[in-house]
Amino acid sequence: METLLEVKDLKTYFYTTKGVVKAVDGVSFSLGKGEVMGLAGESGCGKSTTAYSLIRLVPPPGKIVGGKIIFEGKNILELSDEDFRKKYRWKKISMIFQGAMNALNPVYTIGDQLAEVFMLHEGLTKTEAMSKVYELLEMVGIDPKRARSYPHELSGGMKQRVMIAMALALNPPLVIADEPTTALDVVVQAQIMNLLKKLQREKNVSIILITHDLSLIAEIADKVAIMYAGKVVEYGTAEQIYLNPQHPYTQALLRSIPRLRGEISKLEWIPGTPPDLIAPPPGCRFAPRCKFRMDICTKEEPPTIEVEPGHIVSCWLHAKK
C-alpha cells in the first residue's frame, strides 16, 4: 500500500510560565492511502496536540520544535505558513474538530459557513458555492433546506455531520477526526461512525480517528497507535493491538472496556495519574503506574522493539527477552 503520511520523531512543546510542557515528545507512525488509524490514550496524553501539529494549528504558546511530517513525499513542516494554508490545509488535510457545538460560528447559517470553504479555496461565487453546499449536506444525510439554519437550530448529531461535511468539502486525501462522537448519545455515535466508514469506503479517504474509547476504534481502524504521556508506546494493526497487546498500558486499557459476552466481572482501572509533562519521570513514563516495572524502568527510557512484523512496542519487558 502506498504511504500517504509518515510522522517521524514529532515534538510539540508548550512554553508556559511554569516550564516547558512536552505534550508530544518523539511521536512516529505512518498511514497508507485509504487506511484508517486510531490514535488512543487517556485524556492529556497528546492525541489532540498531535492532530493540531499535523494541520499546523497548534495554539500558542505551543510550538512544533522537532521531527518531520512527510505528506505525499514532502515534509510539510518546511513550508511557509502561507503555502501550507493555500496548498494543504483543507485541500489535502482537513479536520473534524472536537465539539461541533463550539467549532461552528453561532451567528452564521450552516450554508454560509460551508460556502466559505469553496469561496476561499476555489474562488467560487456565492451561488456556485451554495450549489456544492446542498450536495455536501445531502451526502452526510442532512436535508439541504437546513442550509438556512443556524447552529443552535440543529441537534448535536446534525452539527457533527455539518463538521464532517466541512472536512470533506474539498475532497482531501486525509481527514483527522478528533473525538467526533464527544457528547453524543450512543445511537448518534453509531450513526456518525457508520457515516465515517461509508465515506472512507466510497471516497478512499485516509482517516486518523482520535479517541479515548478503544471500542470505537475497533469498529473502523486498520492500524492503532496507543499514546501515553506524549509518546506512542505501542503501534500495530488493529488485530495485533486487540488480540495480542504487548505494552502493560495497552493491556490495562483493553481490560477496562465493558464486555457484552462472557462472564461478568468487575472492570479494572489503572491506579495513579498520568505524569506532569513539565517534569516527566526518568525512564519509562508509565513505570510509576505499571505493576510489571523493574529497576531499569525507572532509570532508562525503553527502546522501541518490533515484536512481530509491523507491531512495535516501547517496553523493557520485551527488551529483556
* pTM as predicted: 0.91
pLDDT over threshold 90, residue 255: no
How many other C-beta atoms lie within 10 A of the C-beta of residue 202?
Answer: 9
- How far is 247 from 226, CA to CA, in rounded Å? 9
- How far is 131 from 202, CA to CA, in rounded Å? 21
The C-alpha cell of 194 is what?
457508520
pLDDT over threshold 70, residue 264: no
Grouping H, G, I as helix, E, B as strand and the rest as coil, residue 256 is coil
Residue 103's pLDDT is what? 82
The radius of gyration computed from the CA coordinates of the chain, to the nearest angstrom, equals: 20
Q: What is the DSSP string of 173-228?
A: SEEEEESTTTT--HHHHHHHHHHHHHHHHHH--EEEEEES-HHHHHHH-SEEEEEE
Picking from 62-76, 125-139, 262-276, 297-311, which range would have the lowest pLDDT averaged per residue?
Answer: 262-276
Each residue's pLDDT tens digit, 130-180: 999 999 999 888 999 999 999 999 988 888 889 888 998 999 999 999 988
Residue 188's pLDDT is what? 77
Instruction: Provide the greatest CA pair distance for the chain.
Output: 67
- How far is 179 from 211, CA to CA, in rounded Å? 5
Grouping H, G, I as helix, E, B as strand and the rest as coil, residue 17 is coil
Place 101 in a pLDDT band, splitting at 50, 70 and 90: low
- How far is 273 from 262, CA to CA, in rounded Å? 30
Domains identified in the chain and CATH numbers: 3-92+172-319 (3.40.50.300), 101-171 (no CATH)
Residue 261's pLDDT is what? 67
What does pLDDT average to over the chain? 90
Mean pLDDT is highest, among 214-218, 252-256, 280-284, for 280-284
pLDDT over threshold 80, residue 19: yes
- How far is 275 from 45, CA to CA, in rounded Å? 9
- How far is 254 from 259, CA to CA, in rounded Å? 10
Each residue's pLDDT tens digit, 32-90: 999 999 999 998 899 999 999 999 999 999 999 999 999 999 999 999 999 999 899 99
Q: What is the DSSP string of 81-146?
A: HHHHHHHTBTTTEEEE-S-HHHHS-TTS-HHHHHHHHHHHHH---HHHHHHHHHHHHHHTT--GGG
Each residue's pLDDT tens digit, 174-222: 999 998 877 677 787 788 888 888 888 888 899 999 988 888 888 889 9
Grouping H, G, I as helix, E, B as strand and the rest as coil, residue 167 is helix
- Those residues whose C-beta lies under 8 Å from the C-beta of residue 104, and which sit 6 or more positions away, are 110, 113, 151, 159, 162, 163
Residue 200's pLDDT is what? 86
* Nearest to 175, CA basis, from 89, 101, 78: 89
Residue 183's pLDDT is what? 67
